[in-house]
Structure 1
Amino acid sequence: MDAFRLLGAGASFKKNGKFARDHELFNAQPARRDPAEAARAEKDIERELDFFHTAATQPSASVTADEGSLSKKRKRNHNDDHAANGSLTTITTAEEANAHRKANRIKVTGTDVPYPFASFSDLLSRFELRSFLKRNLDKYNFNKPTPIQMQAIPILLHKRDLLAIAPTGSGKTLAFVLPMVQDLKAHESAGFRALIISPTRELAQQIYNEVKKLTEGRGMKVCMLTKATAATQAQAPELRQKFDILISTPLRLVHALQQESIDLSNVRHLIMDEADKLFELGFLEQTDEILAACSSPALQKALFSATLPSSIEQLANTVMKDPVRVIIGSKEAAAETIDQKLVYAGNEQGKLIAIRNLVQTGGLKPPCLVFVQSIERAKALFHELVYDGLNVDVIHGERTKAQRDAVIDKFREGQIWILIATDVMARGIDFKGVNLVINYDFPQSVQSYVHRIGRTGRAGRRGEAVTYFTKDDAEYLKSIVNVMRQSGCEVEDWLLKLKKPSQEARKKLKKKPVDRRNISTQPKVFKEKRAHKKDIIENSKKKKAPQQEVVTASDHEGDEAD
């Protein structure tokens, strides 16, 4: 990492003078040695865990497992507990349920929370799991349930509303698809009985594929709402094909509802995947319209996400009835299978030098995802890395559906080693075996950070996440440091002593990213020469255009005379 040492070589930030601001950013006031200091990062997050304010007012009506700090001693105890309970195959008592939750870091809040299950055989005996489901679980190698599946599936099978927060890659899709299919049983002609909403088309396609796997051999009809399928649904009601399960993005579904081409009055299961995104201002109006269209009194609602800010607490209260909240690990923590690193790059040129240094030293292990904050920056970084001869491509909203699908397929097949993406791609897309995630641009929120790095370290595999930051990002570092600490990563003392960003600063960053210089290591004088040359060429083209028009006009006059 000599390149990074050179970036800061000889630097000295004095408390007074023109570097006072830099000293304040990177050198917080010395903290007192406090025994509770190790738990502060977690407490900053744990204070927001009680979405429905039940912990203080209804202590007897809630069950909470695995409370307290994640010290190294506690992590050893966690491993011991997990080993001790590894042979547990059935859960029949409250003591066994609480021990199982503790061993798997499952936190639950609510009244009369159903026991988790320890194995799929336990689930089969307790809920009389349908034979085709068991057959499909075996076929696609779903051998051992994940923590979110252990607790969420029994809750949904008991017809309870659910708010579930679990790390990316932890098996949330199966957690809501299995109980839904178990209840639907088989195909009926009643129209849509289950609805799954996701914020992106790519995630909707991924969910569609998983639903098709689990419904094999049962004849259930699954519809992913696209422009083509929406057109077929726009026919007269008696001519429409009857589907059981509908999967869609909010905008596409709202458009169909406004055209009255889709009826959601029979929907009994409403699943909102990536719920934190669906309740943001950009989607909130569409989400409200969808909720209003699902008018069945028997409607069961489930919200799933990897992160869940406290800001949606009131909204969740208004749409759910007596919900159970399930949190795996901590509310805003990444999976423990991800090795997270923060790297100071100095400035925008330093970032490009850093990523090139990774390539030269063998630190860039494909397949690799690189996240930037805008489409323009995605294009610019793509051109820089292509010039370096790297096997790279880019995916963003300005590319067509066919182009995006082709890029995703090539990345999954290993034809593309490095994929540059914007934050939209960080939402739920399951790329198998991503080894490295690079946050080229610092994420705009904790939620964005967790979703980005969650593309690696999935399904128990190890992964690495590197986040570059500059002086402009220093104000927001502590939020990411807290997530790293919560996830069990080693964090240097000076990072723990940084000041927390104010609420106003966090809101400002979430609304608008940091204004950054263009992605390039080319000296300014070369850029000016290139721009000047481009202007000369453009002016030359403009001068030639009128002359060509005159010649063309005279030619036509001659033709008419003949």
Structure 2
Amino acid sequence: MQIRPDRQTLYWSATWPKEVEQLARQSLYNPYKVIIGSPDLKANHAIRQHVDIVSENQKYNKLVKLLEDIMDGSRILIFMDTKKGCDQITRQLRMDGWPALSIHGDKSQAERDWVLSEFKAGKSPIMTATDVAARGLDVKDVKYVINYDFPGSLEDYVHRIGRTGRAGAKGTAYTFFTAGNARFAKELVTILEEAGQKVSPELTAMARGAPPLLSGHGGFRDRGRGYSGGRSWN
């Protein structure tokens, strides 16, 4: 009631979950909603999406194997659920010879600025991050996004993979999906199919309520080979 009648208040949101809609209706009088694009949750079609069904104790070995396959000096952004996870995985990667740094809410602004500068310059092309720290990141030319931990919502999934993209080239997103994430399987399949991505039979089965079929072993303590082979990320 204290706002001038000729003033307009605008809300901007990349996605429009029920919580945001409720906040808008509580805060705005007679609101109008303008949609750019589709009202449905969709991923950028220019992003290649790969979903790998794994167990929790397979994740680190899967990550190392993936890095061995894709590491070419390009920027790689790895998402974790927790600050502790960021630091733990980053520490293990560095012990195994991978050029990694972490960024999250517990770090000071000076620390975050330094990590970002190292990442942007390619001096440390691997960066782990939580969703909170990654929301305001302005880093261009990220070639790969890896969801080490699946996020708590499909909106966050779309936000995360949207961080990848290069000028004139497609970005690629890799996701580790566990039995604990099964409640998201149906919606994830819908997003993948709408974007024209390949959906594995395992993920399709999980979307129908079947338990995941996992093979192989491995855990956090099993070390990878590191970034070796005479290549340089500089």
Normalised TM-score (structure 2):
0.80
Cross-structure match for 1:429? 137
Question: Deviations for 1:26-62, whole angstroms, at most 9, x for unmatched residues?
Answer: xxxxxxxxxxxxxxxxxxxxxxxxxxxxxxxxxxxxx
* 1:322 to partner: Cα distance: 4.5
User: 1:119-268, aligned counterparts within 5 Å?
Assistant: none
1:521 and 2:233 matched:
no
Cross-structure match for 1:116? none
User: 1:299-314, aligned counterparts within 5 Å?
Assistant: 299-314=7-22
Pair 1:402–1:418, CA change in 2 (3 A):
same
Q: Percent identity, aligned pairs only?
A: 34
Cross-structure match for 1:321? 30
Q: Match of 2:48, as an amino acid?
A: D
Provide the secondary structure at the position in 1 that maps to 2:173: strand
How many residues are treated as equivalent by the alignment?
Answer: 212
Provide the secondary structure at the position in 1 that maps to 2:78: strand
1:369 to 60, 77, 88: 77
Cross-structure match for 1:482? 190
**Any gaps of 5 or more consecutive residues in structure 1?**
1-291, 502-518, 524-562
Cross-structure match for 2:174? 466
Provide the secondary structure at the position in 2 that maps to 1:462: coil
CA contact (8 A) 1:386 1:392 kept: yes
* 1:484 to partner: Cα distance: 1.8
Pair 1:398–1:315, CA change in 2 (3 A):
closer
Cross-structure match for 2:215? none
1:444 and 2:144 matched:
no
* 1:346 to partner: Cα distance: 2.6
* 1:464 to partner: Cα distance: 0.5
Cross-structure match for 1:526? none
Provide the secondary structure at the position in 1 that maps to 2:53: strand
Question: Deviations for 1:125-171, whole angstroms, at most 9, x for unmatched residues?
Answer: xxxxxxxxxxxxxxxxxxxxxxxxxxxxxxxxxxxxxxxxxxxxxxx
Cross-structure match for 1:224? none
Provide the secondary structure at the position in 1 that maps to 2:142: coil
Alpha-carbon distance in structure 1 between the residues aligned to 2:30 and 2:37: 22
Alpha-carbon distance in structure 2 between the residues aligned to 1:302 and 1:493: 43
Cross-structure match for 1:132? none
4+ runs deviating over 3 angstroms = 458-461, 492-501
Cross-structure match for 2:91? 383
Cross-structure match for 2:40? 331
Cross-structure match for 2:228? none
Cross-structure match for 1:99? none
* 1:323 to partner: Cα distance: 1.2
* 1:308 to partner: Cα distance: 1.4
Provide the secondary structure at the position in 1 that maps to 2:163: coil
Cross-structure match for 2:117? 409
User: 1:49-64, aligned counterparts within 5 Å?
Assistant: none
1:395 and 2:103 matched:
yes
Alpha-carbon distance in structure 1 between the residues aligned to 2:129 and 2:136: 13
Provide the secondary structure at the position in 2 that maps to 1:465: strand
Question: Deviations for 1:336-385, whole angstroms, at most 9, x for unmatched residues?
Answer: 1110111122332x11111111233x323520000111011111101110
* 1:494 to partner: Cα distance: 5.3
CA contact (8 A) 2:154 2:184 kept: no
Alpha-carbon distance in structure 1 between the residues aligned to 2:35 and 2:125: 36
Q: Match of 1:364, as an amino acid?
A: M
* 1:335 to partner: Cα distance: 0.9
Pair 1:458–1:478, CA change in 2 (3 A):
farther
Pair 1:484–1:499, CA change in 2 (3 A):
closer
Provide the secondary structure at the position in 2 that maps to 1:443: coil
Question: Deviations for 1:229-270, whole angstroms, at most 9, x for unmatched residues?
Answer: xxxxxxxxxxxxxxxxxxxxxxxxxxxxxxxxxxxxxxxxxx
User: 1:81-92, aligned counterparts within 5 Å?
Assistant: none
User: 1:36-75, aligned counterparts within 5 Å?
Assistant: none
Normalised TM-score (structure 1):
0.35
Q: Structure with the greater relative contact order (CA < 8 A, sep ≥ 6): 1 or 2?
A: 2
CA contact (8 A) 1:308 1:331 kept: no
Question: Deviations for 1:436-478, whole angstroms, at most 9, x for unmatched residues?
Answer: 0000011111111111111102676410000012232234322
Alpha-carbon distance in structure 2 between the residues aligned to 1:305 and 1:428: 13
* 1:411 to partner: Cα distance: 1.1
Cross-structure match for 1:12? none
Question: Deviations for 1:175-216, whole angstroms, at most 9, x for unmatched residues?
Answer: xxxxxxxxxxxxxxxxxxxxxxxxxxxxxxxxxxxxxxxxxx
CA contact (8 A) 1:428 1:451 kept: no
